[in-house]
Structure 1
């Protein structure tokens, strides 16, 4: 297929395997159709981000909308607000920004120019996280949310990671790794406490974790090559 011509064998196998697992779980665990749509569209989104493709945002529009709906049913209000009020509208911003920062020469099929955080940028980013994390946890507690500290950490890290993603910074992946680990813990607890059947959410976040590790590896290599071309 022409659309997959610049994909590695690992990327193709990873996408096919994940899709088949989700389809199986849909029937075997009586999963919801929203869970299946969210999981598959989310995987397509993050794989395309790892490859530096602008098209990731089109699948992100679908995933953020359906995920917000599912999270609402489990009382994960931090996840609802994050996806409905932040992620969803930023998909359109991302399309605009990435299209305006395309690279002239592709490396491993990526379409955009990649950057990296400075020491000052790291300081500002981590300080911002700590302040928002504590304040947001207290807000979620007042709203009667569940597992508020994990929810707050996941939400705050996600906001930061999304902003770094819009700015095309390699370090976004380190924050996504943390987000994915916390999100797995969040959904394990939510499914157990509420006897839920949206198992595809666990599969999705586990796949996101593996993809974020791969994304950091891929973007780090591309950044070094792009920087070398500028010298």
Structure 2
């Protein structure tokens, strides 16, 4: 325990801010609080720099995308500001066959991107890094669109990401993503409960 405390006492100030703002984002998003998006913007701006520095270039690219999605999410959740009520915002559920098509499509894209990264960049873990990036891009869109199953995607993405961060000795971030798994489970429970309570919308994109 003492070694762990000593380690955290020497953390980069930037990484500490990124960890705290990331936690705020997930907690506020799980509670359908619109202020999750400014927290997301701050954390992703910092992680863009950190991941580039540690040669996780796909993750660095992903953070740039997250910054844009933070602005998009803020817009989507506030488009009718005068009517905004977190409990009245319509949540959506995708049917199983829609998710199957999504997963197959994203897997193919991940392999293609991984092959390109492996051939043309010095990035580490090109296929694994590309897979978490591609799926996270789509999962972030699901958050902005208030699709309940986004949290299930994040549980898997975060689990895989932990391995990447441990290998790159980004231990605070690895710990953060461990916490994210628990928060994602909480988010799914809470959004699913609200969906059933407030008559959400079932969407079948495969039809």
| TM-score normalised per structure 1 | 0.78
CA 1:26–1:160 in structure 2 vs 1: closer, same or farther (change >3 Å)?
same
SS at match of 1:116: strand
> Does the CA-based 8 Å contact 1:133-1:156 persist in structure 2?
yes
CA deviations 1:67-88 (Å, max 9, x no partner) are 111111110001001111x111
> Does the CA-based 8 Å contact 1:50-1:212 persist in structure 2?
yes
Matched, 1:162 2:144: no
Matched, 1:136 2:116: no
Matched, 1:209 2:181: yes
Runs of 4+, deviation exceeding 3 Å: 22-26, 101-106
Gaps of at least 5 residues in structure 2 are 201-207
Aligned residues: 196
2:8 to 26, 42, 48: 26
> Does the CA-based 8 Å contact 1:116-1:169 persist in structure 2?
yes
Q: Where does residue 226 of structure 1 map in the other structure?
A: 198
Gaps of at least 5 residues in structure 1 are 1-21, 192-197
| TM-score normalised per structure 2 | 0.87
CA deviations 1:51-103 (Å, max 9, x no partner) are 1111100000001010111111110001001111x111111111111113689
CA 1:165–1:132 in structure 2 vs 1: closer, same or farther (change >3 Å)?
same
Q: Where does residue 194 of structure 1 map in the other structure?
A: none
